[in-house]
């Protein structure tokens, strides 16, 4: 085990023993149960084998953000292990890509069935290592599994084309073929769904994958990979490495055997990956940061707007790329909305995710809390007012009070950048044109929300907003059957839906000549 590892376990156990808190004891029981589960893994997956780091380093600890408890330690992998995983995926590609679509579909369907049969365990694992309420975590399992189910069917719908020839002795046709080995880099806020949304279409069309999950939430990824093995997906088709993010990323970018990078995460990292992919001219898909506006017009149904805005803002404690980052309210309804909204937010229960009725868990780590604090301090220094919350929660750790801020202006950090926390800034506008101008005044362009009962306005504003996703009178809009992705600096490409599989396919044109010869 090693002295350092043993000492940390003692410290965590001692800390929890002193707490004697029911939530800590409850989470310890969940952790203990999951560690004995058939899906729990804490090593990397390369070529169908669970492996440690080559140098034997095991000090990559995973903490429960609600309690500080150590859940497990996983190997700290880097360039060498990533290159092994790439080689494994490259070797497996030859046979996996040659299977019929129907055969690959059966493997994916089996994987989906296993994910759903282990829904409770996966949900508990997500809550344990990421912190979101168990109800949300279970919802993520169903959402994540839906991509595997959808692309199991979509695998059989990859069609080519016959092109009318310009010469009588020619026949022209177009094939769609898998791009090859895919490097998938995923975030911590949806540790299952962001993997299945990428791996599902990749495997469906015949690609093989090397996944690098977030260093903050690797255990969910490893559990999903274990279920893929149990589903019979051949060794090397799906590989998982974690540890040194920069070394792993550099290895994926440098390898000519990796033909595509798909990434969900910050815009800053996405730009680095985009630049790095140029060296070997890889295809790249990027789902990056957002600055989602939530526009509430005077004619909106107040109850619908409040409910939708809360769903769009406070899901996952505000830690999603499609969270409403700016609530932009028309002046005629501003005061009434602010009052109703803050009352509803006040009813959100904060606590560990395993407690019944909890709507908001902790932020992922201390850095996330400090970011929220700095953004809020910037707003207050420029004239904004906190009407609810505005400080760390009495629960301690990284819990933060659901917060509502009024009199927010467009020059404040809260309106310029993603806060990625449970803070709802309320901005005021007069006209429809002003609302559109405020909403589009950002480099981001992922999700937007509008609340209105005017059908004509719905069309006008939806078309005018420079965003890849628009929700009308609804705060939760993601689904496996619709394309997910942004414009401007929120990314490239789309995930999910029939369009998502095209990101993993190459077009090949074939010209067959001399057709008149007998």
Mean pLDDT of 35-48: 93
281 shares its domain with 316: no
155 shares its domain with 201: yes
The pairing of beta strand 469-472 with beta strand 447-451: parallel
What residue numbers bound the domain in which 464 lies? Answer: 292-479
CATH of the domain at 254: 3.40.605.10
98 shares its domain with 156: yes
231 shares its domain with 323: no
Sheet holding 258-264, edge to edge: 49-51, 44-46, 238-240, 208-212, 181-185, 258-264, 283-287, 491-492
Q: What is the pLDDT of residue 27?
A: 62
Asked if the model's pLDDT at residue 45 lies above 80, the reply is: yes
CATH of the domain at 429: 3.40.309.10
Rounded Cα gap, residues 155 and 178, in angstroms: 11
Rounded Cα gap, residues 480 and 190, in angstroms: 14
Q: What is the pLDDT of residue 63?
A: 84
391 shares its domain with 420: yes
Rounded Cα gap, residues 114 and 195, in angstroms: 16
pLDDT digits (tens, 9 = 90+) for 301-327: 999 999 999 999 999 999 999 999 999
Q: What is the pLDDT of residue 516?
A: 81
Which residue is it, tokens 């301090």?
377
447 shares its domain with 344: yes
For residue 472, what is the enclosing H or E element? strand 469-472
Q: Which band of pLDDT confidence, cut at 50, 70 and 90, is reported for residue 21?
A: low
For residue 302, what is the enclosing H or E element? helix 302-314
Mean pLDDT of 183-191: 98
Mean pLDDT of 30-40: 79
Asked if the model's pLDDT at residue 19 lies above 60, the reply is: no
Tokens representing residue 159 in the block = 């069609």
Q: Which band of pLDDT confidence, cut at 50, 70 and 90, is reported for residue 3?
A: very low
Q: CA nearest 421: which of 395, 392, 452, 450?
A: 392
| pLDDT mean across residues, the chain | 93
Q: What is the pLDDT of residue 17?
A: 39
Q: What is the pLDDT of residue 53?
A: 94
Q: What is the pLDDT of residue 8?
A: 31
Q: Which residues pair with 330 in a beta bridge?
A: 429
447 shares its domain with 336: yes
Tokens representing residue 472 in the block = 């009308």
113-138 burial, b at 16+ Cβ within 10 Å, e below that, comes to bbbbebeebbbbbbbbbbbbbbebbb
The 3-state DSSP class for residue 326 equals strand
The pairing of beta strand 292-296 with beta strand 283-287: unpaired
The pairing of beta strand 469-472 with beta strand 403-406: unpaired
Rounded Cα gap, residues 310 and 300, in angstroms: 15
314 shares its domain with 437: yes
C-alpha distances in Å from residue 130, one per residue of 71, 125, 136, 394: 11, 8, 11, 20
146 shares its domain with 100: yes
Residues assigned a catalytic role = 287, 321
Q: Using the Cα atoms of residue 51, residue 209, residue 150 and residue 458 in order, give the sign of their dihedral.
A: positive
pLDDT digits (tens, 9 = 90+) for 218-256: 999 999 999 999 999 999 999 999 999 999 999 999 999
Q: What is the pLDDT of residue 22?
A: 58
Q: What is the pLDDT of residue 430?
A: 98
pLDDT digits (tens, 9 = 90+) for 368-400: 999 999 999 999 999 999 999 999 999 999 999
151 falls within a domain: yes
C-alpha distances in Å from residue 357, one per residue of 121, 132, 134, 424: 19, 12, 10, 21
Q: Using the Cα atoms of residue 92, residue 95, residue 98 and residue 103 in order, give the sign of their dihedral.
A: negative
Q: What is the pLDDT of residue 20?
A: 46
The 3-state DSSP class for residue 177 equals strand
pLDDT digits (tens, 9 = 90+) for 55-89: 887 766 778 999 988 899 999 999 999 999 999 99
323 shares its domain with 231: no
Q: Using the Cα atoms of residue 241, residue 243, residue 249 and residue 254 in order, give the sign of their dihedral.
A: negative
The 3-state DSSP class for residue 516 equals coil
Rounded Cα gap, residues 71 and 29, in angstroms: 11
373 falls within a domain: yes
As for how many domains the chain has, the answer is 2
State what percent of residues in the chain have pLDDT above 70: 93
The 3-state DSSP class for residue 222 equals helix
Q: What is the pLDDT of residue 482?
A: 98
309 shares its domain with 433: yes
313 shares its domain with 409: yes
């Amino acid at each position: 085990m090693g002295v350092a590892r043993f000492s940390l376990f003692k410290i965590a156990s001692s800390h929890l023993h002193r707490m004697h808190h029911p939530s800590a004891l409850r989470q310890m029981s969940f952790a203990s149960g999951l560690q004995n589960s058939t899906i729990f893994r804490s090593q990397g997956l390369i070529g169908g084998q669970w492996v440690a780091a080559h140098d034997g380093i095991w000090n990559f600890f995973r903490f429960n953000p609600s309690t500080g408890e150590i859940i497990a330690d996983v190997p700290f992998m880097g360039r060498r292990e990533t290159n092994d995983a790439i080689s494994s995926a490259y070797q497996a590609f030859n046979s996996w890509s040659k299977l019929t679509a129907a055969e690959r579909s059966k493997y994916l369907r089996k994987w989906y069935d296993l994910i759903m049969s282990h829904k409770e365990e996966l949900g508990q694992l997500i809550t344990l290592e990421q912190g979101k309420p168990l109800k949300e975590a279970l919802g993520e399992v169903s959402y994540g599994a839906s991509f595997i189910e959808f692309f199991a069917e979509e695998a059989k719908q990859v069609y080519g084309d016959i092109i009318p020839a310009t010469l009588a002795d020619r026949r022209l046709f177009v094939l769609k073929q898998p791009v090859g080995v895919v490097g998938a880099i995923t975030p911590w806020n949806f540790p299952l769904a962001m993997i299945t949304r990428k791996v599902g279409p990749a495997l469906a069309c015949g690609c093989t994958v090397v996944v690098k999950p977030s260093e903050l939430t690797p255990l969910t990824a490893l559990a999903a990979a274990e279920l893929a093995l149990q589903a019979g997906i051949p060794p090397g088709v799906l590989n998982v490495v974690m540890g040194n993010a920069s070394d792993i990323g550099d290895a994926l970018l440098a390898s000519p055997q990796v033909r595509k990078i798909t990434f969900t995460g910050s815009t800053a990292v996405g730009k680095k990956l985009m630049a790095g992919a140029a060296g070997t001219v890889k295809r790249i898909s990027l789902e990056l940061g957002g600055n989602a506006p939530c526009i509430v017009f005077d004619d909106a149904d107040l109850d619908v707007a409040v409910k939708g805005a809360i769903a769009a803002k406070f899901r996952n404690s505000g830690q999603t790329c499609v969270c409403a980052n700016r609530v932009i309210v028309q002046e005629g309804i501003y005061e009434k909305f602010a009052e109703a909204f803050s009352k509803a937010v006040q009813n959100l229960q904060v606590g560990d995710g395993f407690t019944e009725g909890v709507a908001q868990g902790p932020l992922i780590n201390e850095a996330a809390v400090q970011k929220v604090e700095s953004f809020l301090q910037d707003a207050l220094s420029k004239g904004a007012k906190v009407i609810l919350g505005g400080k760390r929660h009495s629960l301690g750790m990284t819990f933060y009070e659901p917060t509502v801020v009024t009199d927010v202006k467009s020059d404040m950090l809260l309106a310029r950048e993603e806060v990625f926390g449970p803070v709802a800034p309320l901005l005021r506008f007069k006209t429809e044109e002003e609302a559109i101008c405020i909403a589009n005044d950002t480099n981001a362009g992922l999700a937007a929300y509008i609340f209105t009962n005017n059908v004509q306005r719905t069309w006008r504003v939806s078309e005018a907003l420079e965003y890849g996703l628009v929700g009308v009178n609804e705060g939760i809009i993601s689904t496996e059957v619709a394309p997910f992705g942004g414009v401007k600096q929120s990314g490239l490409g789309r995930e999910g839906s029939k369009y998502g599989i095209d990101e993993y396919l190459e077009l090949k044109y074939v010209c067959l000549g001399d057709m008149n010869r007998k």
